[in-house]
Amino acid sequence: MSPFLGPLAGGALIGLSASILLVTSGRVAGISGIVGQLFEPKRGEVAWRVAFLAGLLIGGMLVARLVPGSVVPRQGAGALMAVAGLLVGIGTQFGNGCTSGHGVCGFSRFSARSVVAVVTFMGTAAGTVFIVRHVLSGGTP
């Protein structure tokens, strides 16, 4: 199997699901917004949000089960991942959205705010990888 088919299929499914949610309900498939609104629930808004999040978790578990080795957690990285998740959550609040909301939904609608957000978080990600791989590790990738 080509190393590009899995990511291509995953990207297509993300785009399809975001499009279906937008067309059928007028809602943006931004994970931080979907989760955030669960903490301030509004009548009629909880069930679809829980179903969406359950679908993400079940989909990930299915892929891990059907394609062994595709989802491999790093040993001993639990605390680091928890801190990273917390920082991402804080960042999404400052940026009024996350990669799925801005990158998939907003960028495709040519939202200026989303374009700025995507350029910012992609630049930050590239800089972080460079620093971790080349500065903090002593220059060895």
Alpha carbons 18 and 44: distance in angstroms, whole number: 20
pLDDT at site 77: 72
**DSSP assignment of 95-141:** TTS-IIIIIIIIGGGT-HHHHHHHHHHHHHHHHHHHIIIIIITTT--
Question: What pTM was estimated for this model as a whole?
Answer: 0.72
Counting beta carbons within 10 angstroms of the beta carbon of residue 104, is it exposed (0 to 12), middle (13 to 18) or buried (19 or more)? buried
Residue 2 has pLDDT above 80, yes or no: no
Mean pLDDT of 22-27: 88
Alpha carbons 29 and 100: distance in angstroms, whole number: 7
Q: Which residue has the tokens 């299915």?
A: 62
> What are the structure tokens assigned to 69, written together?
């080795």
Mean pLDDT of 58-79: 80
Alpha carbons 120 and 116: distance in angstroms, whole number: 6
Mean pLDDT of 127-137: 85
Domain boundaries, the chain: 5-136
Q: Taking Cα atoms as reference points, which of 114, 112, 109 lies closest to residue 33?
A: 114
CB within 8 Å of 79: residues ≥ 6 apart? none
**DSSP assignment of 5-24:** HHHHHHHHHHHHHHHHHHHH
